[in-house]
């Protein structure tokens, strides 16, 4: 019987190393995705649906035109806490003499871009794929967005503090479904 030469045993060694590396990679990718999915709720902790103060009533002129406000919250990443930083934005508006405030999420329901207010045309426009919405968030056809802008629950306290229930909704679907 002939023994393999040094070249053959070196090739065998490299083949084994390659096989181990490929096996490790094949295991690492799904594990990494699973770990990310597992940590995602932790990453979003601090963003749970809750009423958050966003403005004073006096900061929302009663002219029916939406004004944009940031939603501020302490955010908790998997292991790190971030104090008071913007986690989203809303448009608030109210009619003449009214204390009632309407709130719309500034996140486009089509694919999550930030919706701009087009003051000149009295409408909302999304710069990503041109979805257009009326000032009360209604959809303007034809539109890539499958639904109207997402209305958010809003309440006004006795001292005029405006609070919005901040929620994220699934993008690209016709129904307004809260993102878990």
129 is an interface residue for ligand FES by CB under 6 A: yes
What three-state secondary structure class fits 8?
helix
Q: Does 108 contact ligand FES by CB under 6 A? A: yes
Q: Is 148 in the site for ligand FES (CB under 6 A)?
A: no
Sheet holding 67-76, edge to edge: 67-76, 81-93, 102-105, 151-152
Residues that bind ligand FES (rule: CB under 6 A) add up to a total of 10
Task: Tell me which residues in 157-176 interact with ligand FES (CB under 6 A).
Answer: none
**Strand intervals (E) in 6-153:** 50-56, 67-76, 81-93, 102-105, 116-118, 123-125, 132-133, 139-140, 151-152
Q: Under a CB-based contact definition with an 8 Å cutoff, are residues 75 and 82 in contact?
A: yes
- Residue 129 or 165 with smaller CB distance to ligand FES: 129
The answer to the question of residue 147 lying near ligand FES (CB under 6 A) is no
Shortest Å distance, C-beta 85 to ligand FES: 23
Q: Which residues bind ligand FES (CB under 6 A)?
A: 108, 110-111, 113, 126, 128-129, 131, 144-145
């Amino acid at each position: 019987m002939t023994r393999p030469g040094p070249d053959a045993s070196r090739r065998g060694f490299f083949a084994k190393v390659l096989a181990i590396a490929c096996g490790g990679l094949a295991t690492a990718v799904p594990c990494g995705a699973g770990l990310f999915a597992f940590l995602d709720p932790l990453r979003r902790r601090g963003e749970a649906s809750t009423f958050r103060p966003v403005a004073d009533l006096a900061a929302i002129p009663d002219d029916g035109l939406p004004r944009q406000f940031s939603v501020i919250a302490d955010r908790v990443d998997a292991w790190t806490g971030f104090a008071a930083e913007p986690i989203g934005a809303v448009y608030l508006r109210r009619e003449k003499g009214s204390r009632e405030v309407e709130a719309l999420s500034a996140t486009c329901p089509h694919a999550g871009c930030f919706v701009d207010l087009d003051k000149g045309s009295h409408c909302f426009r999304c710069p990503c794929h041109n979805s257009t919405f009326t000032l009360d968030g209604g959809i303007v056809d034809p539109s890539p967005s499958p639904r109207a802008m997402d209305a958010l629950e809003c309440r006004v306290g006795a001292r005029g503090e405006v609070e919005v229930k901040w929620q994220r909704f699934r993008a690209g679907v016709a129904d307004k479904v809260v993102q878990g």
